A and B are shown apart, each in its own frame.
Chain A
Amino acid sequence: MSETAPAPQAPRRAGARTLAEKVWADHLVKRGEDGAPDLVYIDLHLLHEVTSPQAFDGLRAEGRPVRRPDLTIATEDHNTPTIDIDKPIADITSRTQIETLRRNAEEFGIRLHSLGDVEQGIVHIVGPQLGLTMPGITVVCGDSHTSTHGAFGAMAFGIGTSEVEHVLATQTLPLKPFKTMAITVEGALKPGVTAKDVILAVIAKIGTNGGQGHVLEYRGSAIRALSMEGRMTICNMSIEAGARAGMVAPDQTTFDYLEGRPHAPKGADWDAAVAYWRTLPSDEGAVFDAEVLLDADELEPFVTWGTNPGQGTTLAGEVPDPAAIADPQLRDSAQRALEYMDLTPGTRLKDIKVDAVFMGSCTNSRVEDLRAFASIVKGRRKADHVRVMVVPGSARVRLEAEAEGLDKIFTDFGAEWRFAGCSMCLGMNPDQLAPGERCASTSNRNFEGRQGKGGRTHLVSPLVAAATAIRGTLSSPSDVEAEALV
């Protein structure tokens, strides 16, 4: 499945290291011997209500404190409602998880941004927004989409609840080094083609386990041309290719994004940090364990047709015929996916009618994403039969969007403008699809039942989500423009 090649592009140079290897080396508390894992220091630990309760309970049982509350921050996101946020949470499991986080934060001295707080939001939106996420640091969170923070040149990865407890108690993790994979995207993206289309194309190319055990480093002119928001979208979905983490080398774009944010270094610290960050990009001649090449000029708006993020193709294409897939396992998986998605091979993707559009999630809910969506829907009305939800990634993104008048554009369009959280990306709160409903979603997973039992998800970019909300069928922005000319 994987089209990766072991051969390095540049000639190997002794001592040349990759970005990932440099960050790893600078966090080694102890190198593992005789097959034992390395002990790696963690600079930043992000917490949310779902994967932290048992970690705190474990600390209590052993009478252990949190070693570094000053390197730890918590927010409420997975279970939070996106309407009526001033009312008690109806679902008892959701409420218990949130109340437990509040109690634990109080007891262990952890900074927590609760529902209603101006810094509350999806954990992966909050870290970068506060300037806590920066190049050359290690970031962990009990959430697989922690890979998002790698966009800054940080080593960021998701962990399990036992590991959350381990980091709380020791600020370290025993880890075996990851392998490295270079994903090089050269060229220029066409108008209407976004970071989301790049990562969906990468996953379709290498498969949902193509990155297993690896840190992916996204590089090449198309990646360097991306904003931090675009880089975060790409790194966010590294886990959907099976990778442990995704990274982009820090550059002026990174520094410009960070400078002046509340927790970014100041004065002499800033200068020292930037000087160090400039040493981080992979050295000329550094060797990756695997390499993948993509031509940016050839990329088109992308959409998934199946039930894993690797089952995708260009929006201009058709639903594939499983019979044409050579690999028996992939063929069976495609067959099952089409049954679940209620799709027939050969159907033009643009003929697929949707019931809902979800604009949000840690993949695409930063203000730049909302602006992209607004640029297409401005002055238009949504298709009558489509329910459109716009969910900002954080309370601050919501405020920023409102200051720019984006909320008015959304509500005039007929969309619901909600409060911040993970929302319909995974439906832990009441934002769910009904059985059989079909959704064009800017989120990251199209698994069976992910957005609600029996719900059907097509992963798309914010631009495609907007065009789809207007036409009611999977559409690209150019379809909307073409229609306007008729």
Chain B
Amino acid sequence: MDAFTTYTGVAVPLKRSAVDTDQIIPAVYLKRVTKTGFEDALFAHLRQDPAFVLNDPVYAQGSILFAGPDFGTGSSREHAVWALRDSGFRAVFAPRFGDIFRGNSGKQGLLTGVLSEEVIATCWAAIEADPGAAATVDLQAGTVTLSGETYPFEIDAYTRWRLLEGLDDIGLTLRDESRITQFEQGREAWRPQTLPVRER
């Protein structure tokens, strides 16, 4: 997982509230056996509407989403984060998020920042006044800048630290690898082995 410090990309106004994980990625895409390659599944049903924002070519390279309240509620599927990540999104801003989605995002390197409904509305207006405009996220400072205005967003300290360090759950655990190795050296010989014992 790459560390997240500052990032600049095309801002996308998703002017909807309660975009749940079923809308982010419909259940039919959950049968796959991969953890990547879900870009075709992102908002698959919403995309059937020609007027859907991501069908506008100006947002084709979009990577920072400004959404309405309650983004990512519903089913716990991690695929929702994978679909956003595979489509190039690095950050989502909304007034409220589904808890499980927000937890999953932090683990996969997708930044989820809380902005008030007023700020989101201001951002939507700014993007629509200048479609294709870039936004810049500065995680160290905890701000997002759009059309010359800088807004502070909320993110919990632990997730912020993990994103800045680029640590997924496994990366976090592997910081303690020497302790794991030490524990392994003390394991008793009677414990189960599925393969012939390796030389250590």
Contacts and interface: CB of A to CB of B under 8 A. Distances in A.
Contacts of B169: 162, 166, 174
Pick from A44, A58, A174, A270 the residue with the most CB of B within 10 Å.
Answer: A58
Contacts of B177: 170
A29 B183 contact: yes
Contacts of B193: 70-71, 263
Contacts of A64: 170
A100 B33 contact: yes
Contact of A70 (B172, B188, B194): B194
Given A54-B35, A93-B31, A172 B195 contact: no
B170 to A, nearest CB: 5
Interface in B174-200: 174, 176-177, 179-180, 183-184, 187-198
A171 B192 contact: no
A23 to B, nearest CB: 12
B36 interface: yes
A111 B195 contact: yes
A165 B34 contact: no
Interface string A64-96: 100101111100000000000000000001001
Given A70-B194, A273-B190, A29 B176 contact: yes
B27 interface: no
A132 B194 contact: yes
A427 B196 CA distance: 35
Contact of B170 (A53, A166, A269): A166
B1 interface: yes
Nearest to A171: B180
Interface residues of A, number: 45
Nearest to A100: B33
A123 B51 CA distance: 49
A134 interface: yes
A29 B188 contact: no
A169 B173 CA distance: 9
A170 B177 CA distance: 8
B78 interface: yes
B194 A58 contact: no
B192 A272 contact: no
A17 B44 CA distance: 53
Contacts of A161: 78
Given A62-B1, A70-B197, A165-B170, A172 B180 contact: yes
A41 B183 contact: yes
B102 interface: no
Contacts of A29: 176, 179-180, 183
B191 A172 contact: no
A172 B176 CA distance: 11
Contacts of B36: 57, 61
Given A29-B180, A39-B176, A97-B33, A170 B194 contact: no
Contacts of A62: 1, 168, 170
B107 interface: yes
A187 interface: no
Interface string A44-62: 1000000001100110011
Contacts of A170: 170, 173-174, 177, 180
Contact of A272 (B33, B34, B190): B190
Interface string B31-59: 10111100000000000000000000000
A30 interface: yes
Given A70-B194, A132-B194, A137-B191, A53 B174 contact: no
A171 B184 CA distance: 10
A312 B168 CA distance: 43
Contacts of B191: 43, 134, 137
Contacts of A61: 35-36
Interface string A159-184: 00110011001111010000000000
A213 interface: no
Contacts of B183: 29, 41
12 contacts: A29-B183, A54-B33, A58-B35, A64-B170, A132-B192, A137-B192, A169-B173, A169-B174, A170-B180, A171-B180, A172-B173, A272-B190
Interface of A: 29-30, 39, 41, 43-44, 53-54, 57-58, 61-62, 64, 67, 69-73, 93, 96-97, 100, 111, 131-134, 137, 161-162, 165-166, 169-172, 174, 263, 265, 269-270, 272-273, 276
Given A30-B176, A134-B191, A272-B190, 7 more contacts: A29-B179, A61-B36, A70-B194, A70-B196, A161-B78, A169-B170, A174-B169
What are the 9 A-B residue pairs with the smallest beta carbon separation, nearest first?
Answer: A53-B33, A273-B190, A265-B190, A57-B35, A70-B195, A269-B190, A54-B35, A73-B194, A132-B192
Interface of B: 1, 31, 33-36, 78, 107, 168-170, 172-174, 176-177, 179-180, 183-184, 187-198
